[in-house]
Structure 1
Amino acid sequence: MSTLQQIHNWSLVHHPRWLVVIRVALGILLIYKGISFMFNSLQAHQLLYNTVFSSSADAIIIGITWAHLLGGFLIIIGLLTRWAVLLQMPILLAAIIIMANQYGIFASGADLPFTVIIFVLLVFFLVEGGGPLSLDNYFRHNPK
């Protein structure tokens, strides 16, 4: 049995039902952040202004917005959960690095603690997967 299959089997056996609530909340927060990027693109531009990404800030903001909206929806329904989480991880990691460099680690007003919590949850659900109450699990057991 492969390592990925062993991790998946372990996560199905050790997945409490209340983790579904956390997975759905994570998806909702990502959708909220995607909508926030959509309507507050000036704030995102200011965040990217003094970085290497300033020349292509518009394209990056559009990509982040759609990645958060699509990834959040997939995480909520539990479809392709690990892939959706992998899509989010580089975005959140870059956000943590940029915010830590611009505002400092303990700056008030920055979304750094919120972003770190979301990143930790993404790492958790990368390992854990969608769980027994997800479309991943449904399609795995009903291949028709």
Structure 2
Amino acid sequence: MNLIEKIEYWGDTHHPRWLDFLRIVLGIVIFLKGGTFLADTESLRQLIEVSNLRIYTWGAVHYVAFSHLVGGILIAIGLVTRVAVAFQLPILFGAVFFVNITRGLTVLNSELWISIVVLILLLVFFIVGSGPYSLDHQLRTRKG
């Protein structure tokens, strides 16, 4: 077994069922955040420009909105969860370390703390996978 297969096996055998509920809620929250970004792309563009990253702004805006919308649904239903999480990780790293941290590490900076919690949860689901209440699990059991 290579390292990825070992991580997947460990994640599948050590997955409490309450984590599935948390995964569904996380997917819905990410999807809703993508909807707010899509409804107000100007504020997202300003957030990206304030971070002083040398990237194509409109490309980044569309990547963030599309990744949140599609990835949120995939995470919520548990279909290719690790891939969906992998697309979310660069966005959340940017949100934590480049965008929200510029506003300061204070208790009043709620966006920073929400971004940190979502980043930690994404890392957890990248390791443990989608769990028994997911389409991934249903497809695996039907195929096997």
Task: State how far apart, in whole Å, the 1-side matches of 2:117 and 2:33 are.
Answer: 14
Residue-by-residue CA offset, 1:82-130 (whole Å, 9 max, x unaligned):
0000000001101112224421222634511000000000000000000
How much is the aligned-residue C-alpha RMSD, in angstroms?
2.0
The residue number in structure 1 matching 2:50 is: 50
The residue number in structure 2 matching 1:87 is: 87
Task: State how far apart, in whole Å, the 1-side matches of 2:124 and 2:83 are.
Answer: 13
The residue number in structure 2 matching 1:139 is: 139
Q: TM-score, normalised by structure 1?
A: 0.88
Aligned residues: 144
CA distance 1:49–1:8, change in 2 (3 Å): closer
The residue number in structure 2 matching 1:59 is: 59
Structure 1 residues without counterparts, runs of 5 or longer: none
The residue number in structure 2 matching 1:105 is: 105
Task: State how far apart, in whole Å, the 2-side matches of 1:109 and 1:96 are.
Answer: 11
Q: Secondary structure at the match of 1:102?
A: helix
Q: TM-score, normalised by structure 2?
A: 0.88
Residue-by-residue CA offset, 1:60-100 (whole Å, 9 max, x unaligned):
11110000001011101111100000000001101112224
Query: Equivalent pairs: percent with the same residue?
Result: 33
8 Å CA contact 1:48, 1:54 repeated in 2: no
CA distance 1:8–1:51, change in 2 (3 Å): closer
Q: Secondary structure at the match of 1:130?
A: coil
The residue number in structure 2 matching 1:28 is: 28
